Structure 1
Amino acid sequence: MKTIKSIQIIGTQRSGSNLLRVILNQLSEVDAPHSPHILERFFPLLPKYGDLNIEANFENLIEDVCKLVELNPVPWEGFKPNRFQIKSYCKSNSLIEIFKVIYELKAQFSGASFWCCKSMSNIHYADKLEASGIKPLYIHLYRDGRDVALSFRKAIVGEKHMYHLAKQWKEEQDLCVQLKEKLGNDRVFLISYEELLDDSEGVLMRLCNFLKVPYNNSMLSYYNSNESNITADSGKMWENISQPLIKNNFNKFFKELSDDQIKIFEHVAGSTLLKLNYKRYLTEEDKFYSEDQIENFNLENKLLKQMAVSNLSEKDLNKRKGQANLVKEIIER
């Protein structure tokens, strides 16, 4: 297989990663399929497979990862992972290697010179990506955490209480900042969601320069692409992908979150907001909550997550149940 370079988008979900993915996918040099979250889902499951140096165990892992890809709510159009081919290309018996080879084969299938993974939670596995030799170019895509929290509260997936959302956002953004400090400007490119909306062409030109690929005007016509339409049709969370950029899609938290909700977020993640050049509005310093308060937050978070699942449309439920059932079946083995 020819050498294919890699791009990893990092940060926190609900920050425009699917938007950036379909924009990048407009470039002939980049293949950016919707992410089945291979690393996030399978690293916790690895104990189920035993010693991966035993070929049967490694083959079982390949089989299940391929099933996850095939059950993705947004299909990888025209591409079916070949288990035998994947194993033959793997240079080591590891989950990271399976992940890399699947993305490389998909990019090869699409005639691209880069594969792009938009699973932003892979920031938690950056050390493993580096140690494996993949060494991708990272795009740190970030958005005002209060708008991220608002978006999660409306979404099917994720945490729902402001305390949990602020904690997650702070942890992931801090990890991204640390990675940038460690690897430098040649490896990590920063994009704020708000700047992407305000100066789309300028941001994308700088991004193409970072990737060393030519800028293409078609990037801003992403909403006419087949990939955007397939994504938008695959779930309520992604319905905006088939529309042009919504230029005023920021600072929505002012109107839609209560003062108490904003205060909780700023108390937990205020220092990180400042680090990324966002303002505090209702607090001046971070605050620690008591165990009793956190326990109440936990109960409320659990209830809100249950409500989100109960409000799922039948279409969204059917799109997601394949992967959910696969993971459940693996856990119960």
Structure 2
Amino acid sequence: MKTIKSIQIIGTQRSGSNLLRVILNQLSEVDAPHPPHILERFFPLLPKYGDLNIEGNFDNLIDDICKLVELNPVPWEGFQLNRTKIKSYCKSNSLIEIFKVIYELKASFSKATYWCCKSMSNIHYADKIEESGIKPLYIYLYRDGRDVALSFRKAIVGEKHMYHLAKKWKEEQDLCVQLKEKLGNSRVFLISYEELLNDSEGVLKRLCNFLKVPYNNSMLTYYSSNESNITADSGKMWENLSQPIIKNNFNKFSKELSDDQIKIFEHVAGSTLLRLNYNRYLAEVGDNFYSEDEIEKFNVENKLLKQIAASNLSEKDREKRKGQSNLVKEIIER
């Protein structure tokens, strides 16, 4: 298999990463399938597989990861996962090696020169990715955390209380900024979601220059692509992908979140908002800490809100997600 370069999108979900993914997927040089979140799901499960240098254990891990991909709510159109072929290309018996080989084979199938992984939570595994020798180009996509929080509150996934949302957003942005400072401009490209909306062509031309691929006008007509329409049809969270860029899709939190909700977010993540050039609305300068009793109350509210979100899941979304969640549950119970 020819050498295929890699792109890793990092940041926090609900920041426009699926939009960026389908835009990038318009380039013939880039293959950007919808992510099954291989590393996020399988790193916590690795103890279940024992010593991966025992071939049977490694085979089991390959098989389960392939099942996860095959059960993805957005299918990898036309691509067949061959367990034997995947194993033959693995240069080491590790989770990250399986992850890399699967993405390489998918990109090779699509005749692309880059594979792109949209699992933004892979920022938590950046050190392991670097140590493995993959050395991807990173695209750090960030969005006003208060709009991210608002989006999560409406979504079927993720935390729901402002405290938990702010804490997660702050942690992940801080990790991304640290990675940028460590690797520099040649390896990490920054895009703010708001700039992507307001100056789409300019941002995408600069991104193509970073990737050393030619800009293509088809990037801005992503919404008519097969990948966008399949994704939009696969879940409520992605339905906007069948439409052109919504230029005014920012600062929605100022109208839809309460003052108390905004204050909680700014108390927890205010310094990171400022670091990324977002102004505070309500809270004073400096991050504030909550008492253990307050946090316990937030935990109870968060759990309840997540239960409500799960109960509101449409039958279609529930059916699409059932396969992967059942697989993970079955592995945990082994």
User: Structure 2 length normalisation: TM-score?
Assistant: 1.00
Is 1:70 aligned to residue 70 of structure 2? yes
Is 1:157 aligned to residue 157 of structure 2? yes
Is 1:129 aligned to residue 129 of structure 2? yes
Residue in structure 2 matched with residue 327 of structure 1 by the alignment: 328
State the one-letter code of the partner of 2:168. Q
Residue in structure 2 matched with residue 170 of structure 1 by the alignment: 170
SS at match of 1:10: strand
Residue in structure 2 matched with residue 190 of structure 1 by the alignment: 190
- Distance, in Å, in 1 between the alignment partners of 2:287 and 2:269 is 7
SS at match of 2:44: helix
State the one-letter code of the partner of 2:199. D
Residue in structure 1 matched with residue 303 of structure 2 by the alignment: 302
Is 1:87 aligned to residue 84 of structure 2? no
Offset of residue 119 of structure 1: 0.3
Offset of residue 170 of structure 1: 0.1
- Distance, in Å, in 2 between the alignment partners of 1:238 and 1:179 is 28
Is 1:287 aligned to residue 288 of structure 2? yes
SS at match of 1:91: coil
List per-residue Cα deviations over 1:204-241 (Å, max 9, x = no partner): 00000000000000000000000000000000000000
Residue in structure 2 matched with residue 273 of structure 1 by the alignment: 273
- Distance, in Å, in 1 between the alignment partners of 2:74 and 2:249 is 24
Residue in structure 1 matched with residue 51 of structure 2 by the alignment: 51
State the one-letter code of the partner of 1:328. K
Is 1:255 aligned to residue 255 of structure 2? yes
- Distance, in Å, in 2 between the alignment partners of 1:114 and 1:81 is 19
List per-residue Cα deviations over 1:258-305 (Å, max 9, x = no partner): 000000000000000000000011012211000000000000000000
Residue in structure 1 matched with residue 15 of structure 2 by the alignment: 15
- Distance, in Å, in 1 between the alignment partners of 2:61 and 2:178 is 32
Offset of residue 80 of structure 1: 1.4
Residue in structure 1 matched with residue 203 of structure 2 by the alignment: 203
Alignment of 1:229-244 (within 5 A): 229-244=229-244
- Distance, in Å, in 2 between the alignment partners of 1:304 and 1:84 is 43
Offset of residue 19 of structure 1: 0.1
- Distance, in Å, in 2 between the alignment partners of 1:286 and 1:128 is 30
- Distance, in Å, in 1 between the alignment partners of 2:43 and 2:221 is 36
Tell me how many residue pairs correspond in the alignment: 333
List per-residue Cα deviations over 1:72-107 (Å, max 9, x = no partner): 000000001110000000000000000000000000
- Distance, in Å, in 2 between the alignment partners of 1:166 and 1:311 is 23
State the one-letter code of the partner of 1:57. N
State the one-letter code of the partner of 2:108. Q
- Distance, in Å, in 2 between the alignment partners of 1:112 and 1:237 is 27
State the one-letter code of the partner of 1:123. I
Is 1:101 aligned to residue 101 of structure 2? yes
- Distance, in Å, in 2 between the alignment partners of 1:238 and 1:217 is 22
Offset of residue 308 of structure 1: 0.4
Offset of residue 166 of structure 1: 0.1
SS at match of 1:324: helix
State the one-letter code of the partner of 1:218. S
State the one-letter code of the partner of 1:329. E
Q: Unaligned regions of 5+ residues in structure 2, if any?
A: none
State the one-letter code of the partner of 1:326. L
Offset of residue 159 of structure 1: 0.2
Identity rate, percent = 89
Residue in structure 1 matched with residue 316 of structure 2 by the alignment: 315
State the one-letter code of the partner of 1:330. I
SS at match of 1:8: strand
Offset of residue 9 of structure 1: 0.1
Is 1:215 aligned to residue 215 of structure 2? yes
User: Structure 1 length normalisation: TM-score?
Assistant: 1.00
SS at match of 1:44: coil
State the one-letter code of the partner of 1:163. Y
SS at match of 1:80: coil
Offset of residue 32 of structure 1: 0.1
- Distance, in Å, in 2 between the alignment partners of 1:204 and 1:171 is 27
